[in-house]
Amino acid sequence: MAIYDHFELDPDQLPYSYPIDIDDEEYLLGFSFNPVSGQIIAELSNDNGLNVSDPVILDHELFSYSQDPRCPMTGIVPRDESGQETEVNLGNINRTVFLTANDIERSDVDNGADTE
Domains of the chain, residue spans? 6-109
Residues in the chain: 116
pLDDT-based confidence at residue 115 (cuts at 50, 70, 90): very low
Supply the pTM of this predicted model: 0.82
Residue 67's Cα: distance from chain center in Å? 16
Amino acid 102: pLDDT: 82
Q: What is the pLDDT of residues 81-103, one digit of tens each?
A: 888 999 999 999 999 999 998 86
Q: What is the pLDDT of residues 4-31, one digit of tens each?
A: 678 889 999 999 999 999 889 999 999 9
Nearest Cα residue to 52 out of 34, 75, 32, 29 = 29
